[in-house]
Amino acid sequence: MNDKEEFFISDEDAPPRRTAPRKKKMGCFGKLILLGLLGLAFFIGLLVLIDATNSGGTVKKILVEILGGQTEAPRQVEPIIREKIVEVPVETVVEKVVEKIVEVEVLPPMPSSYVSWKKVDVAELWSDIPVKTEVISEQGDIASREREKDGSYGIEMKLKLTVPKPNQSAKELSGINENLPKMLNDFDALVSKAEVSPFFHHLYELKTRYIQERVTRIDRLLSRHNLYDLETVLQVAHPETGQKLLLVQGEMDVVTDGSDGDRWPMLDDYISMSQYYQPFTSYGWGKRSTTPNPLLERWETKLAEYETEFAISGLSIERNRYLRSQIDTLTAEVADMKVRSYLIAEADPFFVLPLSFLGRTDENEFGPSIGDYGVIIHGDNMYPAIAGDAGPSWKFGEASLRVAKALNEKATPYNRPVSDLVVTYLIFPGSRDETKGPPDLEAWRARCQELLDGIGGIGEGYQLHQWEDLIAKKKAEQEAAAAAEETEEVESPPAGDDSGDEDPAQPEKGADQ
C-alpha cells in the first residue's frame, strides 16, 4: 500500500456542477452605439479641459453645435490674457564663505577651592633706594565681614636702614686719600688717639628720624647719596700743644648764598645762580658803607606786596596765616640787610656746618661754631677756609661755590664737585675771631697755617693754597676800564674840531723826504 491513500468518489456522490452563463454576442448595431458613446465622452472631456484653461471659447461653441445644442446669445467678448512661461537664464549667485580660524587659548582649569598666592617685586626709586614689595594672600572670613576689618587689606611698610659705623682707622682713612699721612706730619698719631665724636652719632640719629617722619612720602625720603654722606667725625687734642681738632670725612655739595653791598654792590650773576639762593649767610658783620645791599629793594617790594594783600578783608584763614608768616620773616630780613653784610659764595672760601653741630660748646668742648677756621683737603691740595654758614641738621658736606670750583672747575650750583667721601675737613673748634669782618684772605691763610702747626704741621712738599681776592681783582678791572674810557675821551678831539688835522696832501712831519 502506498504512503498516500487515494480516495475515489463516484459520480453519483459528487455535488452538482455550476456552469458559467453563456455570453451573448453583440450585434453590429450595438457596436455602433458603443462607439458613439465613447466618442461623446471623449469630446465632453476635451470640452471640460479647454474650459478649465480659458482657451476654448470658439471650440466650445462648435462642439455645442455639433451635439445639436443651442448657442448662447451673442455677448461682448473680453480680451483674453495669456500667460507665457519663458525660460530666462538667471546668473548664479555664489556666496563666499570666509573661513575664520580662531586660536582658542587653552585655559587652565578653575580652582575648586581657595588658592594661596604670593608675589615679590623688586624696583628702585629715583633716589637709588631699592624697593621690595611682597603681596601675600590668606584665607579669611566671608567678604561682608572682611570688608569691615582694617587688617583684611592693607600695606605694612617696613623700611630697612643700616646706620654705618664711623671710620676711626688711620689705615682706612689713608686708603680714601693716600696723601693724608704725608700732608699731616702727625696724622697716624692723631687718628690713633682720637675718639668718635658724638656729632657723628647725632647726625645719623637725625637722618634716621628725618626718614621715619617721611616714610609715607617716598618722594621726600633722603637719597642714598644724602644718607651716606658722612664717613666719620673724630675729635682729638694734640698731646703736646693741646690744639683741638674735629676731623670730618665726607663729600661736598655747593652753596651759592650771600651778598655784600659794601664789597660787591652791583646785582651780578652771584645773585641768581641758584633757585635756592638767599642773600644771607650765618657769618655776617656790620655794614662799612652806606651802599645798600643789592637785594634790599627786591625784598622791600615783596614785603609791600604781602602787606597790601594782608590788608584785604575776606581772605581765608590759611592765606592770612601764610601772609603773616611771610611778613614777619621779610620784615626781619629787610632790617638785617640794612645793617649787615655777608659772605659771597662766588668769591669767599667757606664751608657749611649742620645746625645740629652748633650751640653745643657747653656740652662738648669740640663743638664748632660759625667763624671757626678750617682746612679742606682734597687730593694733595689744602684750602684754608672758615665755617661761614649753617645748613640742614641732618646733612654734612657743603662748601661755597668758590671752594667747589677750586676742587673741580666744572662745579656749578647744580653740579657738585665731589660725590665720593674723599674730602677731609679739619675744623678747629674755638678758633674763631672775636670780631667778625669782611674776609681777609691773607689773614685767613696765616691763621689756618698757625692752627695746622698746632697739630704737628704740614708735611714736606705741601702747602696751603693761596686764594686770589676776586672782588679786589674785579674792582681793579672796573677801575682800569673806567680810567681807559676817560683817557680815550680826553685824547679824542671834540666833534667838528679839525684844527689839529694834518693836510693829507702834505708829507708827515719827520718823515723821510
d(C-alpha 384, C-alpha 437), whole Å: 17
Under a CB-based contact definition with an 8 Å cutoff, are residues 423 and 397 in contact? yes
Task: Give the pLDDT band of residue 62 (cuts 50, 70, 90).
Answer: low
| Predicted structure pTM score | 0.69
C-alpha cell at 42: 471623449
Q: Are 373 and 428 in contact (CB under 8 A)?
A: yes
Q: Give the pLDDT band (50/70/90) at residue 161.
A: confident
Say what the pLDDT of residue 267 is.
62
Can you give the pLDDT at residue 94?
A: 52
Average pLDDT over residues 358-372: 95
Cα–Cα distance between 411 and 403 in angstroms, integer? 9
Per-residue pLDDT band for 437 (boundaries 50, 70, 90) equals very high
Name the amino acid, one letter, at 7. Answer: F
Phi, psi dihedral angles at 175 (to 5 degrees): -70, -30
Distance CA(182)–CA(456), nearest Å, equals: 12
Exposed, middle or buried by CB within 10 Å (0-12, 13-18, 19+), for 412?
middle
Q: Are 449 and 391 in contact (CB under 8 A)?
A: no
In three-state secondary structure terms, 405 is: helix
Of 430 and 68, more confident: 430
Amino acid identity of 458?
I
Residues 6+ apart with CB under 8 A from 462: 179, 182, 183, 380, 382
10 band by pLDDT with thresholds 50, 70 and 90:
very low
Instruction: Decide: 429 and 369 in contact? Cβ < 8 Å.
Output: yes
Confidence of residue 165 (pLDDT cuts 50, 70, 90): very high
Helix/strand/coil (H, E, C) string of 384-397? EEEEEEEECCCCCC
Lowest mean pLDDT of 91-105, 132-146, 185-199, 265-279, name the range.
91-105
Q: How far apart, in Å, do the first and last CA atoms of the chain sit?
A: 198
| Range from 96-100, 194-198, 478-482 that averages highest in pLDDT | 194-198
* Residues forming beta bridges with residue 29, ordered by sequence position: none
Selection from 128-137, 157-166, 273-282, 436-445 with the highest mean pLDDT: 436-445
pLDDT in tens, 213-256: 888 777 788 888 889 999 999 999 999 999 999 999 999 999 99
Q: For a pLDDT cut of 70, what percent of the chain falls above it?
A: 70
Supply the Cα-derived Rg of the chain in whole angstroms.
60
| pLDDT of amino acid 128 | 75
- Percent above pLDDT 90 for the chain: 52
C-alpha to C-alpha distance for 97 and 374, rounded to whole angstroms: 91
